[in-house]
Every structure is written in C-alpha cells, then in structure tokens.
Amino acid sequence: MEDFTKKSEESSSSNWWNWATASLAGLLSLPILVVLGYLFTPAGEIWSHLVETVLADYVSNSLLLMFGVAIGSLLLGVGTAWLASMCSFPGRGIFEWMLLLPLAIPAYIIAYTYTGMLDFSGPVQSTIRDITGWGYGEYWFPEIRSLWGAALMLSLVLYPYVYLLTRAAFLNQSLCVLDVSRTLGNGPWRTFFTVALPLARPSIVAGLSLALMETLADYGTVQYFGVSTFTTGIFRTWYGLDNAAAAAQLSAMLLLFVFTLILLERNSRKKSRYHNTSQRHQSISRIPLKGWQSVGAITYCGAAVLFGFLLPASQLGIWATTVSEESIDGAFIDLISNSLLLGGVSALLALLLALFLSYGQRLHNKPIVKFSVRLSGMGYAVPGTVIAVGVIIPFAWLDNSFDSWMRAQFDVSTGLILSGTLFVLIFAYLVRFLAVSLQTVEAGLGRIKPSMDEAARSLGYKPNEVLRFVHLPMLKGSLLTAFLLVFVDVLKELPATLILRPFNFNTLAVRAYELAADERLADAAPASLAIVATGILPVILLSYSITKSRKTK
Amino acid sequence: MNKLRIVFWAIAIFLMAGPIGASAAEEVNLYSARKEKLIKPLLDQFSAQTGIMVNLVTGKADALLKKLKSEGINSPADVLLTTDAGRLHRAKVAGVIQPFHSAVLKNAIPPQYRDTEGHWYGLSLRARPIMYVKGRVNPSELSSYEALADKKWKNRICIRSSSNIYNQSLIASMISANGIKKTEAWAKKFVKNFARPPKGGDRDQIKGAASGQCDIAIANTYYLAGMLKAKDKKQRAAANKVAVFWPNQSDRGSHVNISGAALTISAKNRANAIQLIEFLSTPKSQEWYAETNGEYPARKGVKMSDTLNSWGKFKADDLNLVNLGKLNPKAVMLMDRAGWK
Amino acid sequence: MPIQLDVKNVSVAYDGVAVVTGINFTLDVGQIGCLLGPSGCGKTSLLRAIAGFEPLASGEIHLHGKQVSSVGATTPPEKRRIGMVFQDFALFPHLSVSENISFGMRLMDKKQTASRVEELLDLMELRAFRHQHPHELSGGQQQRVALARAMGPKPEILLLDEPFSSMDAELREHLARDIRLVLKKDGVTAILVTHDQFEAFAMADEIGVVGEGQLRQWNNAYELYHRPADTMVSAFIGMGVMVSGQVIENGQIALSMGEIVKPAPENCEVGCMVSVLLRPDDLIHDDDSQLTFKIEDRAFRGAEFLYTLKTPDGEKVLCMVQSHHNHQIGEKIGVRLDVQHLTSFPMSDCSECQLTNCQSHQS
C-alpha cells in the first residue's frame, strides 16, 4: 500500500505520535526484554533436572492458584458489586466503600495474620484443643498454609479489583437496557444474570486479569505457605541453583502465561466494544431488598469486609499493641513520608504515561504501537525482583558506558548517574504498575466514542488539544482511579524497593518486611498497620469518586 | 501547562538528589544482607567513635550481589555484608570483592572463619542444631543429622522448605562429609519422616514441635533465642518446651554458617571500609552483635549471653565454609530429587 | 458564484481496497449539496475525505480555492475550517449547551464569541436550554445543538453525516427543511450525506447519487427524477419499475405489455432489447381502456391508492389512482399509458437495478 502512504502535515504529526508511543512503550518494556534476552543464554543441563523434578509442580501449582483466585475473586467481587451498586439494604452505603478496603493490605501481610490465627499453634486451634482435649492428628482442621489457603489469601485482598471495575461497569450501564429486560418479563435477578452480567463482562474480565497478574507475581505469600509456583521456582533456580539464565527462562515461561491472559482479556473486550449505548442515564433506582434478602446481602458483603480487612487489621492491631517489641515512633514519619512521596510521584507518572500511550494507540492503531504498548503492560505479572534486575542491568550499563566515555574523552569520571537514585526505583515502579493505569485509562478512553475526537478535530482542535479539552475532562473518574490504584500498589511494593532504593532510604514496606523476614511477625505489625492506614485514605477517596460519578435517587 | 512543567522539574531534581546528598566528606557505603535493625546501632556507634558516616542499604544477598555485578567498578558500595558463607564465596567468584590484609582481623577471627586469600572475614556463627521437645524425646536417642533418617522418627520431624538457604547449606555440608550418593539416599528417607509438608520459617518449626505437631525441629539457634526473650507469652512458652541438642559431636561437629563482611572491588573509601570491618571484630562489637542477633561470636573469648551459655559448648563443623557455596547448587538439586518441597 | 468545494477525480481506499472512485463535483458558495445513496455505497467515506479524516488514493480536493487533499498530502481536519454534524451528534457530555456551541470559537475574542453563541441559540431556538447538559435534551434538541456547534466558527463548509437518521420519519423532512432555511439565512455552504431521498429533496440544491462507489449523477432533484442517468439512479430516485421492450422502427419501443412508446435510447438499433422506466404516474386508470391488468397488491395513501398490477406476461407495474377508485386485490382494472418523459436503457445495463435493490428504498 505504498501508494497511499501519507506525507505532509498530517503524516508528520502521525509519525511523531507513532514514533513517540512506540519508543516510550519500548523503553518501558526494556526490563522485560532484558529478562527475555537471557533466553538465548544456554542454561546447561539444569533444564533436564527441572523438568524431571519440579517443573510440573511449578506449572500445576501456578495454574491451580490462578484458578482458585479466579473463583474466589469472582465470587467475592461480582456479587458484592451488584449488591452495593444496584440494590438497597441497610448499611449498603458503608459497604460500598468498605468493600474496597482489603486493597490496602499487602498479600503477604494478610497471609501472616491468618497463619498467626489459624495455624496449628495459633489461638483458634489451641482453643479447640483446650476445650476438647484432642491432640495433634486427632481432629481435622483446614490447613491454611496450603495451595488453597494461598488462593484464599490472595482472593481476599485481590477481589477489590474485580469489585471496583465491575461496580463501575454496573453504574455506567444504561438503565434503559436493564429496564427493557424488566419489561420483557425478567425479574431483577434474571436481569442480573442475563443482561447486566454479560454487559459488564469486559470490566469483570479486566478486573480479573489484574487480580491474576498479581497472583502470578506474588512471592511473599506462596513462599511463606510453602507452595512451589513459578515465582518461588524462579528464585530457587536463581539463588539456590545459582543459575540466572535458567531463572530468566522460567520468567519467560511465566510471561507466556501472562501473554495468554492478556490475549484472553483483549479478546473478550474486542467482542464487546460498548461505548455508552445510550446518551441518557436516568438516576439509578435500586432494587429494594426485603427481610431475609437484606440479611443475606449484609452477610455476604460483611463476610468479604470482615475476612478481607477487619479480621487481619485487628490481628495486626492486637500484635502492635500487645506483643510487638517495635512501636510507632518518630522514625515512622520518615517512612510514611517516603512511602507517600514514592507513591504519589510514581502514580502521577504512571498516569501520564498511560494517558499518552493509550491516546497514541487511539490515534494510530498500528500493529507495532499496539504490540509495544501490550509488552510494556506485562510488567504487572512479573515478580518485583525480576523487574528490578531487568532495570539494574541496562541502567548500570548506561551509566558505566557514559562514565568510560567521559574518562576517555575528558579524563573525568561521572560514576553512576542514574543507578542508585530514586529515578531508577520509580522507573521500576512504572514498569511494574503501568498495566494498572493503562488498563483503567484504556477502558475509560474506550467508552468515549471516536466521533467525539472527530467533532473536536473538525472544530479546529489538534490531537493533543482534543486530549486536553475533550478527553481529560471526560476521563476524570478513570484518571483518579488509575492514580489511586498505582499509589496503593506502590505503597505495598517490596522487592523492587528493596533492591533499588538509594542509601539510607526506607519505606514502610521495607520496614515491615525486614522484621517479618526475621520471623518477627508481631514486631512487623506496627509497620504493616501503617501501610494499611496509609492505604485506606486513597481507597476511600477512590470509592467516593466512583459513587459521585453517578447520582442516585 | 507552565505549572505542569515546574512540577516536572521539581520531580526530576528530587529524583536525582539521591547521590548528591550522599556524598559527605568521610563516609563508607555498605550493602548489607543483614537487616537494618540488627546492624544499625553498631554502625551508629562506629560513626560516633570515628566521625565516619555509614550509608546503608539493606536487601537480599543475591539481589545485592547482582547489583554489585551490574554496577561494576563504579558501584558506590565499599563493603558487602552477608549472612552466609555461600554468598561471600559467590561474590569472590564473581569478582566483585577484593582481598585485603589486616593484622587486626587475622588476629581476631580464627582461620576457618575467614577466606584463605583474605577476600572475606566472618563476623558471627549461626548454628543449626537439632531441637527436641523436652519429655517427649530423650536426648540419648539423638546422635547425628544422619541418624534422623531412622524409621523411628517417622512423622516426628519439622523442618522448613528446601528453598531456604539454611537447609541448602546443611545439605551442602553433608554432601561435603558423606558424598552425594549417600546424602541422597539419606535425604530420601529423611523426607519420609517429616510430620507435615515443609512450610513457614524456623520459628514455625519450633512452634510446631512445642504444640505437639512433631517432636523434633531443625532450626537456627538465634530464632530460639529470639523466642525466649519475646514479649509474647505464648512464644516464650513454646520456646521453653524445647531443648537444644548438638549433633555430630563425635565426628565432624554441628553445622554452622557464618555472617561476614568483604571489601568490594569498587571501594572508593577503602581505608574507612577496612576500619569498619575491623571495628565489627572488636570484642565489644562482637559481644553486642552476638547478643543482638542471638548468634555465636566469631572471635574467641568474647563474653556470651546467658541464653547461649545455657545451651552449652559445642563442636562446630570444621569444614571449610567455601565448600558450602560451591556445593549449594548440588544440594538444591539433590533435595529436588529427594522430593523435599 | 465562486466555487467553494471542488472535488476532482477523487478515490478513497481502505487497506488498498477502493470504496469510492473517480468522483467529480463542485459546490458553489452558499449552495447545499447532498450525497445520496444506499448504505455502504461509500458516500460517508467521501464526506470524511472532504473533512480530512481519510487520505485520498487519487485525485484532489480544493476548499475555497485552496488544495486541502491530494495523494500523499492531507491537511488535517482542524486546519480546514470545516464544521461537521455527526450521525450520533457527538456532543461533549461534560459541557453545557452554550459551552458546546462555543467550543470551536476559541480563536474569536470573547465578545464575538458571546454574540455568536447568542445568535445561534436564537437561530436554533435553544435559548431555554443554554445551561443544560446534552443528556438532559431530547433527540431533536441535541441535533440542533450539534448543528449550532458546527456552525459556530462560521466554517467554509458544513458537513452533515446522516444527521437525521435517529429522527422520526415524520420529523425528518420537516427538520431538513427547517435546517435548509437556517443554512440559507446564514449563507453556509453545506454538504449532506443521506440515504433518504425525501430528506435530500427537502434540503439540497444539488444532489449526487452515489452507488457502488461511483457518483452516478450530479444534478438537481427534478432532473434526477425525470432524467436519471442510469438504471441505478432511476431505480433509487422515486418509485417506478422497469419493464422490458424491444426497439422497433422509427425510434419506437414495443413494450412487452403491448403498448408502443418512444423515444428509444440513442445507439439502439432495431431489435435491441431495452428496459423502460415506468413511474406510477405514467400509468393512468381508465375504465374504458382495453388494457386491463390484475391487481396484485394495493396500498392506501390517503388521497390515492398505489396499486401493484400484473401484466399478462408476468411483469409488475405500479399505478397511482385517486382513492375513490376502491378496487380489491384480484380485480382487473383498465389502464392506459401516458408517458411524459420516457427513460429507457439498453438491456445489458439493467443488472445493476437488481443489485441495488431499488424497491426497498421506496417504502
């Protein structure tokens, strides 16, 4: 089609966007490419060993874990989203925001608290033994530190992604469609299953894919529960077997999982491209629940909040106040401000990048742009440590090359300019969490009809002005969501922070980890509690912004 | 748009401010696999005494190693601190640490706890003995790690996952003593004696034993020490239910690992760095370090805590610790084959 | 009148597949043009090429004497000074009615903008809704806002892409006429894309019929109806059926139903088969006529009945009859032919008539 190649004004701006989008996305996928680069390093005979002994375990455990988390987070996320947005029952308003709270708890911390409560030597089982006089092996109790335990823990803290996106979808659904279903003789519940749920499917799948990517990247929980997954396998191969190449090759296999996941998600979204089907939203009239229905709804939502937030948070509170040898002191102010700073800056940058990339994609949907944007969003499923290594290598190389060039030319040593600064750490955060903001912003942009862009263009606005004057104001809600999600994620992030932070710089997550890794779980409680407390505020803000977006009768 | 630009520059300056702020006059930069809480007070003492500022970044040993490797000769780190000999050995092989000679250190640290060429110096010993539940196990039934493969221990042993470096080192020491074949045969039987699939940390093994899930736990002593002085009543109660048994006293001795320090190849504050490592080997530092960490001091004749003394003297494995690092991959593969999760 | 829009030999292609080819037409200042054709025939692509959203595969477009599109050079839409009204209106939901209208006027000074907004609010009778947001308006009101927004910056040309497609059929013609008045009052040059001929008749000065990617004819409504350029146009515009005939001597045609008409198409020799367009008003009900056809179907149109009749040899023709002539299906009625302007085409051409499914657009 060379005949139709565009030149001149239109094409120079188009080239600029293509070039800028692709190269920015390329830069952000650099760490992943570095990891993939190890694919070509021979790993020796280690593979036959892995295949013979542990690989089957890694694959099956990872798949089962994803399966478990999928079931768990769908059960917890979709039903609660429907109840909290479309039904009315006592306490609904409170549940609406409380259901998001588990988002503030890092998965490894909830794992610690539940182990503390439910383990053989924990208070629950000890009490059972004290009452009944049974000993070890004389009664059955579910083993929390197992594959299904890990799936449960991850579901409890990851279901809010599904809840968040599904609820937004329900709130955005044109009520006409729901009303049509009602007039066709479907009751509210049938309407839920036959109309609302299928319409919300792209959002449900988007939320689920975020939860599953987090699941694949999780290290803390599965390692503590002794479940061998890809992530633990990567570290075991790297650290234990001292074989970085094989570890990277395992990471590449993990990326294959992720890629499949992303393709599935894309596919489900492509099939159902809904812009706002109707311009006219009436305010929601919620379905009133009566009697036992209310009780059921309260129990259902209450269970999610209780097990996902209240119980673990109280356990942390108890530890922090009774048995912890650490307390919240002046040093915490530094930790909190460091955490806030990193979270704020990274979330802002991730937002701008996501906006830029998804808008670039909207303008010019070229395969190369699409591919590089997809690649740059894959970091979310890669364990933080692997990302960190993928970040260190190219930056250190860049710094060292510049240094030796300066030495050769001017006899001046510049040392490491970028490595060891917060710049590199934040870059790693962007690589890791871009998917979250990208997902949210893309979904938001997808809801804006292309004719909006064209209308503004025809009225004399250039593409970047269209973004500023049309899309940004329309995207407010999505942008806030993207910002806050990344913010909370950065707050909880540990492995990359640990490796990439500069000298004398700590965050809440690092403090919590150092004590927990020393098996002083109770002592880690104050820092963990501080993470949770810091995370709650943005989570509540998030909830408020979504509710506000839709007035109700 | 102008406001946005200002914000951008502010962020950029803030991001780059890291290394500038860290370049004080007299300083030493430390990459430490030892947690901040367990080293910082000692570093503060050092700074107070010498006026040398210590910049610290903590992390997992392998990640720090990778970081050192990538940063190369421009790495800001002067000193690397790890909590096992295997990583020190890997650092040496990777060429990121350099040998140095210090009469003070040679004098303080016994030869088996430092590198023959002076690449690294041990600072403390971490012992991994057998712990048994008082009353349920008669210490006379116990003898060596090897003997734990006996059928009589079926469903009675708690030990953590083979992904853990302590177990990897233990098996490496056994490979070194008995060879791969014998150790693998032993491991296969040993795994069958586990009371439950491996999970949790060392404290969890001790707790498991105390609560009756198993009769024997294998754990590092400093975890037991930590539990004994915990604020949590239950932890103390659990710890008091178990006693320490030093295995293999009639042959090579109980398994120990070390924590140690090394000088990086890129060290720009060489003198300060050596001064810091020497400071860590003084009797006073060693006493604090051993006490705080619940580990055994590397230096002989240092006063020990009552807890450590209560477990009695023991013969430590005199194996050259370099072997732990060399045999580590073999140990992991062996445990994979034995089905040790 | 100076030429405002000049479309020269334009082709538009997607992924190398041409959608429209070889389009030529011009529009004078203040003229309202229309691209009329069945859906999927490429008229919207042509409009988008004029707007600058699609590059050209061949040809040139000149707007107000300036070349804006050629092969390999496309002035972006925002630099063309166009106004466009979209099928779905594309009103900005975050802006009020008056903010929507003033959206394109940011280069004007504040006073000018304010007075232009007032002017348009009055013109479109939107004064009462100025502070409301699009979702609070009815479809017709939204449509007027979209039009006001597009006209706001006084564009060189106004492009309307099926602007009435979401309206009631009753409303369409009425609205189209209203808008024509508004545009004429403002002296706006405009081009409308539609598949509805009555909309086109009501609004446009010049109409281009687009079929299968080509501009079949560019002319005013009267000429299109009475002198269609080909069978496609004849079938698409107005009601009517094609009946077959054969050229006989003296340039006459013998229809298969038995009547003789003229003239035959040029270049058609004796014996050549032709198709002849019969409009419903070409066939007059006459009880005295020898020619009787059976009523196949009938539709009540108030003042008249539209009868579908079957000729003895199986062809169907339409006949408009005053409604007091109430005949039942199956009856035979007498008719006679009264052809004012005979349109006929050589037979080989007629396949296109079937392709475009002309009858479906009549109802």
Mean pLDDT calculated for residue range C103-118: 89
- Domain borders along chain A are 55-234+262-272+288-316, 329-517
**C-alpha triplet C331, C337, C340: angle, nearest 5°:** 145
Name the residue facing C75 among A9, A461, A470 (closest C-beta).
A9
B216: confidence class by pLDDT, cuts 50, 70, 90:
very high
Q: Which residues of C160-176 are buried (b: 16+ CB within 10 A; e: fewer)?
A: bbbbbeebeeeebbebb
For residue B14, the model assigns a pLDDT of: 62
The verdict on a CB contact (< 8 Å) between C75 and A470 is: no
For residue A203, the model assigns a pLDDT of: 82
pLDDT digits (tens, 9 = 90+) for C314-324: 888 888 888 88
Check: CB of residue A533 under 8 Å from CB of residue A525.
no
- Dist CA B250 CA B264 (whole Å): 39
For residue B4, the model assigns a pLDDT of: 61
Check: CB of residue A343 under 8 Å from CB of residue A491.
yes
DSSP string, C36-104: E--TTSSHHHHHHHHHTSS-BSEEEEEETTEEEEEBTEE--GGGS-EEEE-TT----TTS-HHHHHHGG
Mean pLDDT calculated for residue range C186-197: 89
Q: Does position A262 have pLDDT exceeding 80, yes or no? A: no
Q: Is B97 left (phi over 0), alpha (psi -120 to 50) or beta?
A: beta
Q: How far is CA C224 from the centre of its chain?
A: 10
Matching CATH topology for A55-234+262-272+288-316 and A329-517? yes
Matching CATH topology for B26-126+257-310 and B127-254+325-337? yes
pLDDT digits (tens, 9 = 90+) for A361-370: 888 777 878 8
Q: Does position C354 have pLDDT exceeding 60, yes or no? A: no
Paired residues of C332 in beta bridges? C294
| Strand C17-28 to C3-14 pairing | antiparallel
For residue C288, what is the DSSP state?
T
Q: Does position B20 have pLDDT exceeding 50, yes or no? A: no
- In this predicted structure, which of A82-86, A194-198, A305-309, B154-158 has the lowest mean pLDDT? A194-198
For residue B13, the model assigns a pLDDT of: 63
The total of other beta-carbon atoms located within 10 Å of residue C97's CB is 28
Class of B26-126+257-310 in CATH:
alpha beta
Reported pTM: 0.81
Check: CB of residue B191 under 8 Å from CB of residue B338.
yes
For residue C252, the model assigns a pLDDT of: 82
Mean pLDDT calculated for residue range A18-22: 83
Q: Does position C132 have pLDDT exceeding 50, yes or no? A: yes
Q: Is A451 left (phi over 0), alpha (psi -120 to 50) or beta?
A: alpha
CB contact, 8 Å: A402 with chain B?
no
Q: How far is CA A239 from the centre of its chain?
A: 26
- A422-446 vs A331-363: helix crossing angle, rounded to 10: 50
Q: Which residues of B241-277 are buried (b: 16+ CB within 10 A; e: fewer)?
A: bbbbbbbbeeebbbbbbbbbbbbbbbbbbeebbbbbb
Nearest to A489 by CA among A106, A122, A209, A199: A106
pLDDT digits (tens, 9 = 90+) for A155-184: 999 999 999 888 878 877 666 666 666 666
Output the CA torsion sign for B257, B261, B263, B265: positive
pLDDT digits (tens, 9 = 90+) for A91-131: 888 898 889 899 889 898 899 899 888 877 778 888 888 88
Check: CB of residue A68 under 8 Å from CB of residue A157.
no
Mean pLDDT calculated for residue range B43-70: 90
- Domain borders along chain B are 26-126+257-310, 127-254+325-337
Q: Does position A146 have pLDDT exceeding 50, yes or no? A: yes
For domain A55-234+262-272+288-316, the CATH architecture is: Orthogonal Bundle (1.10)
What fold, for B127-254+325-337? D-Maltodextrin-Binding Protein; domain 2 (3.40.190)
Of chain A residues 111-170, which have a CB less than 8 A from chain C? none
Q: Does position C56 have pLDDT exceeding 70, yes or no? A: yes
Check: CB of residue C290 under 8 Å from CB of residue C334.
yes
Of chain A residues 499-518, which have a CB less than 8 A from chain B? 499, 501-506, 510, 514-515, 517-518
The share of chain C scoring above pLDDT 90, in percent, equals: 22
- Dist CA B114 CA B112 (whole Å): 6
- Dist CA A255 CA A55 (whole Å): 15
Nearest to C336 by CA among C300, C290, C298, C269: C290
Mean pLDDT calculated for residue range C23-30: 92
Q: Does position A2 have pLDDT exceeding 70, yes or no? A: no
Of chain A residues 133-172, which have a CB less than 8 A from chain B? 135-136, 145
A269: confidence class by pLDDT, cuts 50, 70, 90:
low
- Dist CA A530 CA A338 (whole Å): 13
Q: Does position C171 have pLDDT exceeding 80, yes or no? A: no
Check: CB of residue C328 under 8 Å from CB of residue C305.
no
Check: CB of residue C243 under 8 Å from CB of residue C278.
yes
Q: Reduced to 3 states, what is the DSSP secondary structure of residue B275?
A: helix
Mean pLDDT calculated for residue range C70-92: 88
Residues of B in contact with A389 (CB under 8 A): 63, 66
For residue A278, the model assigns a pLDDT of: 41
- Dist CA A2 CA A4 (whole Å): 5
CB contact, 8 Å: B199 with chain A?
yes
Nearest to C358 by CA among C146, C262, C216, C190: C216
Mean pLDDT calculated for residue range C44-68: 91
Mean pLDDT calculated for residue range A484-513: 87
A7: confidence class by pLDDT, cuts 50, 70, 90:
very low
Of chain A residues 29-58, which have a CB less than 8 A from chain B? 49, 52-54
Chain A, nearest residue to C82 by Cα: A458
pLDDT digits (tens, 9 = 90+) for C303-350: 888 888 888 878 888 888 888 888 888 888 888 888 777 788 877 644
- Dist CA C267 CA C102 (whole Å): 58
**One-letter amino acid of A299:** T
**Between C173 and B317, residue with greater pLDDT:** B317
**Between B143 and C123, residue with greater pLDDT:** B143
Mean pLDDT calculated for residue range A488-499: 86
For residue B112, what is the DSSP state?
G
The verdict on a CB contact (< 8 Å) between C90 and A9 is: no
From residue A477, give the alpha-carbon distance in Å to each of A375, A550, A551.
26, 11, 14
Residues of A in contact with B63 (CB under 8 A): 385, 388-389, 495, 498-499
pLDDT digits (tens, 9 = 90+) for A418-471: 887 888 999 999 999 998 898 888 878 887 888 888 999 999 898 888 988 989
- Dist CA C307 CA A228 (whole Å): 81
The verdict on a CB contact (< 8 Å) between A345 and B14 is: yes
Of chain A residues 319-338, which have a CB less than 8 A from chain B? 322-325
Check: CB of residue B271 under 8 Å from CB of residue B77.
no
* Mean of the per-residue pLDDT values of chain B: 88
Residues of A in contact with B66 (CB under 8 A): 244, 389, 392, 499
3-state helix, strand, coil split of chain A in percent (to 5) is: 80, 0, 20
Name the residue facing C74 among A8, A281, A459 (closest C-beta).
A8
CB contact, 8 Å: B179 with chain A?
no
Query: What tokens does C234 get?
Result: 């004849």
- Dist CA A450 CA C53 (whole Å): 12
Helix (H) or strand (E) holding C70: strand C66-70
User: Dmax over Cα atoms in chain C, in whole Å?
Assistant: 76
The share of chain A scoring above pLDDT 70, in percent, equals: 89
Interface probe with A: pick from C48, C60, C87, C103, most Cβ of A within 10 Å: C103
* Mean of the per-residue pLDDT values of chain C: 84
Nearest to A203 by CA among A376, A373, A85, A362: A85
Q: Does position C356 have pLDDT exceeding 50, yes or no? A: no
Mean pLDDT calculated for residue range C115-120: 91
| Strand B256-264 to B120-127 pairing | antiparallel
Q: How far is C296 from chain A (nearest CA, A)?
A: 38
Q: Reduced to 3 states, what is the DSSP secondary structure of residue B273?
A: helix
A271: confidence class by pLDDT, cuts 50, 70, 90:
low
For residue A22, the model assigns a pLDDT of: 84
Residue ranges of alpha helices (H) inside A447-520 are 450-458, 463-466, 472-492, 495-500, 508-517
Q: Does position A519 have pLDDT exceeding 60, yes or no? A: yes
- Dist CA C114 CA A236 (whole Å): 70
3-state helix, strand, coil split of chain B in percent (to 5) is: 50, 15, 35
Q: Reduced to 3 states, what is the DSSP secondary structure of residue C194?
A: strand
ipTM: 0.80
Q: Give the chains touching B; criterion: ≥3 Cβ pairs < 8 Å.
A: A
Of chain A residues 375-394, which have a CB less than 8 A from chain B? 385, 388-389, 392-393
**Between A499 and A107, residue with greater pLDDT:** A107
Interface of C with A (CB under 8 A): 13, 15-16, 51-53, 55, 57, 71-84, 86-88, 90-94, 103-104, 106-107, 134-135, 142, 149-150, 152-153, 159
Q: Does position C296 have pLDDT exceeding 50, yes or no? A: yes
For residue A3, what is the DSSP state?
G
3-state helix, strand, coil split of chain C in percent (to 5) is: 30, 35, 35
First and final CA of chain A: distance in angstroms? 55
Class of A329-517 in CATH:
mainly alpha
Paired residues of A281 in beta bridges? none
Q: How far is C77 from chain A (nearest CA, A)?
A: 5
Phi/psi at C272 (nearest 5 deg)? -75, 140
**Between A136 and A334, residue with greater pLDDT:** A334
Residues of A in contact with B331 (CB under 8 A): 240
Check: CB of residue C309 under 8 Å from CB of residue C296.
yes
Q: How far is A304 from chain B (nearest CA, A)?
A: 26
Q: Does position B9 have pLDDT exceeding 80, yes or no? A: no
The verdict on a CB contact (< 8 Å) between A3 and C76 is: no
Q: How far is C299 from chain A (nearest CA, A)?
A: 33
- Dist CA C199 CA C201 (whole Å): 6
Name the residue facing A238 among B62, B165, B333 (closest C-beta).
B62
For residue A411, the model assigns a pLDDT of: 83
Paired residues of B316 in beta bridges? B254
Sequence-distant (6+) residues with CB within 8 A of C179 are C147, C163, C203
Q: Give the chains touching C; criterion: ≥3 Cβ pairs < 8 Å.
A: A
The verdict on a CB contact (< 8 Å) between B18 and A345 is: no
Chain A, nearest residue to B155 by Cα: A137
Q: Does position B21 have pLDDT exceeding 50, yes or no? A: no
- In this predicted structure, which of A193-197, B31-35, C226-230 has the lowest mean pLDDT? A193-197
| Strand C66-70 to C73-74 pairing | antiparallel
**Between B79 and A498, residue with greater pLDDT:** B79
Q: How far is CA A199 from the centre of its chain?
A: 23
Whether there are 3 or more C-beta pairs closer than 8 Å between C and A is yes
Q: Does position A552 have pLDDT exceeding 50, yes or no? A: no
C158: confidence class by pLDDT, cuts 50, 70, 90:
very high
The verdict on a CB contact (< 8 Å) between C74 and A474 is: no
Mean pLDDT calculated for residue range A320-346: 84
